[in-house]
Structure 1
């Protein structure tokens, strides 16, 4: 039996892989529902990125299919079983703080900087090239392989709803959209909207607007409030300066007559690990909680400060829960929309292990936050777990160990990957241990060499599972 030098095969295709990846990254594929149409259900950008990925597949001789500009697949081989690979071409909004153009891939000190470089265009293209190598080597396979591409992974998964309504899912598979050595457990994911009532009573300060957050799965990196007050604004500014100094955040303060505007800056991060960031919105509310607002503003500010600030496990809202295998629940308030005459809402993203459920969490929260109505948002994802004894999981871990010399072990995350869509599914790479996790952050990057390392591991392990 011929031994395949997977490292050599990847090395000979490095420049092609990088060129294709850069081409894909240059497409701004942020979900754009404001400009969505029947032709482009989640916006033109994600659809154009899907077209480009499928174009790669057609160029390389695969069978491809586009499902209504929402999802698509690239197929190879034949067999009674189908092995699946699930990636996505959509990316989270850019946000502030970039040092380079987020859609012009730039390599600095061996790091590829761009939105989507690590989540998920870089890992997805590493997995695609792994399959491309297997095809080009004309290796015998006993299973069909279906590489599925989504356009709405970052918010809602409508792409996979559409895909599964039209196509049969593979029997087992993985998503290259997390970290090594493996993710075989994923917490449940649910978002909750708090709707606050109108209250005309007055206070020392009138809350006009309070806004923060750009996505339900991102801790807000900045928050802005506009308010009207007859209080001494110099004293308020001094109090803010003391607060930011004590709490390691920063803020801008502007007073124009009785109108005061404050913008507070924290640190944006992925909601699955809220402690990696600094929630600007809850910090701003915590500072403002020292003042007496008008009735509706008071309820909004106090609820945020009392129940949502500095509480990543949900103890203050009564939803805390822990499972021995899957770990602790996490809670993060990520979208704040308040206008004096309009909506007054907060969206809370919760990642929960087995042993609780979305309805129970809503009941627990409602019992505590009495000034708002708690609504479970659509798109709840239940916890998912594939045993570490599963042959696929074993193959992935053994291959990982072979190329890294590191011990493979099972992990559960709070993030949601497409791996949970397979009955036997997991996420496998491509963030290596010891690397900084900058997914969903400004200046997102992936170490260039890690893209190629991942492609080697993917090629070897995929072939073992389909040969």
Structure 2
């Protein structure tokens, strides 16, 4: 059977956009504050999962919900299972949007909204690939499970819950990254460095740091940073801050109030897998504050960020820079920074590391550079790699070349972490094309509709090819 997948995808485009509109409208950020027995990660992620399953049931698929943490849409039977792993949760919207992040807005044939690129737009495109396969009457030789997690952007709680109850698929892909094929992902580990109670610093100083706040998630470059500072001459510090903003590629403002001097820096958010794509507002604010001396924990907190972390995504200053011929550079994202004069400070650093280095070496570098701060590891995922000659890599590359026209495309390794790594023969496959700007984890997140439609065609064709 010869199928014009591009034309078929165009035929489904209106239905796809209607479903995408419904998914984007759900604020599915993990919400622990409103978690309950019914909604373990909050009502938003569960609502997005439910919407996916409603779509699958509407279209005649078998569905199952695992405690509002994960679920699947299933087609076919067989001893082997092909997994398509997506996530229904999103990053916090943050500031800086020109449109409502939870309303699908189409301008100049571009879809804007939180999740259009990560991962509701691509995930739904992969689902429509499955729907087109079914509607074309193609019966797979194996079971296909479209698996939906609800917590990919933090601890993978949902998909881990599924894997506690069910075996992992034998092979498959996650449409949660870039085209053509990502057959390797760096290791991913996060550390917390705390400055609490035992830092002495300069006790007799004219500057007091009352608070510092920057960052929303460990895998997101902070766009905003705020601090409250007290000094003998707040106006003088404010003038110095204005000159600082003129010198560096960030913006901001300051205001003198009864509490002290409020400082605000605006940078640029980006995905934490490549911090150089953003401008870290928190480390820039710490750089400015580092010209002054503080008492107690504040001195160690500011010094660590400004002198050991700022503008050093490859961690040279910590002495843990590492490059692998296949997996590339170790990268470091300073994702969350907090300080309070009563409770001390904490810094969250997320590392994407290649083969040849591991969490122990990374922790040792942090301890050496942390000015006496205490360092603890939060989580870790080892590097993942599927050989380029594996049939799943070869078939997906062939489909991508055929439908995209990118005849020189090759598989590659990235710093991002997708659900694809949960399968021994799992890869990431789209849906960001090489010619489109990456706006994942950023304000004004978008995907061109033509890209999403082409992705639908690629996913449908890929599922058919894997069935051959």
TM-score normalized with structure 2 length: 0.97
Superposed CA offset, 1:382-405 (max 9, x none): 110111111010011111110111
2:228/2:259 contact within 8 Å kept: no
Q: Secondary structure at the match of 1:354?
A: coil
Q: 2:218 aligns with which of 191, 204, 216?
A: 216
Asked if 1:298 is matched to 2:293, the reply is no
State the partner residue of 1:337.
Answer: 338
8 Å CA contact 2:196–2:344 kept in 1: the answer is no
What is the CA deviation profile of residues 410-458 of structure 1, one whole-angstrom value per residue up to 9, with x for unaligned ones?
A: 2111111011011001100001112110011000010011111001011
Task: Quickly say closer, same or farther: Cα 1:22–1:49, change in 2 above 3 A.
Answer: same
Match of 2:140 in 1: 141
The CA RMSD measured in Å over matched residues stands at 1.2
Gaps of at least 5 residues in structure 2 are none
Deviation at 1:57?
0.9
- The Cα shift of 1:464 comes to 1.1
Aligned equivalent of 1:74: 73
- Equivalents in 1 of 2:151, 2:441: separation in Å? 15
Q: CA deviation at 1:8?
A: 2.2
CA contact (8 A) 2:25 2:102 kept: yes
How far did 1:29 drift? 0.5
Answer yes or no: is the 8 Å Cα contact 2:238–2:261 preserved in 1. no
2:205 corresponds in structure 1 to 203
Q: What aligned pairs does 1:1-80 form with structure 2 within 5 A after superposition?
A: 2-80=1-79
> Any residues of structure 2 matched to 1:171-210 within 5 Å, and which?
171-198=170-197, 199=199, 201-210=203-212
Contact 1:84/1:172 (CA < 8 Å) preserved in 2? Answer: yes
Q: CA deviation at 1:202?
A: 3.6
The corresponding residue for 1:403 is: 403
- Do residues 414 (structure 1) and 415 (structure 2) align? yes
Deviates more, 1:362-371 or 1:89-98: 362-371
**Would you say the 8 A contact 1:172–1:424 is kept in 2?**
yes
| Cα pair 2:218 2:333 within 8 Å, conserved | no
Shift of 1:28: 1.0
Mark the runs of 5 or more structure 1 residues left unpaired by the alignment: none
SS at match of 1:10: helix
Distance 1:343 1:295, change over 3 A: closer
8 Å contact from structure 2 (residues 110, 446) kept in 1: yes
SS of corresponding position for 1:52 = helix
What is the CA–CA distance in structure 2 between the aligned matches of 1:324 and 1:45, rounded to whole Å? 41
- TM-score, normalised relative to structure 1: 0.97
CA–CA separation in structure 1 for the residues paired with 2:73 and 2:166 = 13
3-state SS of paired residue (1:270): coil
Structure 1 match to 2:394 = 394
Map of 1:250-261 to 2, 5 A cutoff? 250-256=251-257, 259-261=260-262
Provide the secondary structure at the position in 1 that maps to 2:315. coil
| Counterpart mapping for 1:240-279 below 5 A | 240-256=241-257, 259-279=260-280
Name the CA distance, whole Å, in 1 between partners of 2:289 and 2:391: 54
Match of 1:227 among 226, 229, 233: 229
Q: Is the 2:234–2:260 contact (alpha carbons within 8 Å) kept by the matching residues of 1?
A: no
CA distance in structure 2 between the partners assigned to 1:203 and 1:354 by the alignment: 45
Report the CA distance between 1:343 and its aligned residue.
4.2
Does the 8 Å CA contact 2:187/2:382 hold for their aligned counterparts?
yes
Query: Is 1:455 aligned to 2:432, yes or no?
Result: no
| Match runs of 1:306-321 below 5 Å | 306-321=307-322
Write the distance in 2 (CA, Å) between the matches of 1:295 and 1:340. 9
Q: Offset of 1:466 from its aligned partner?
A: 2.1
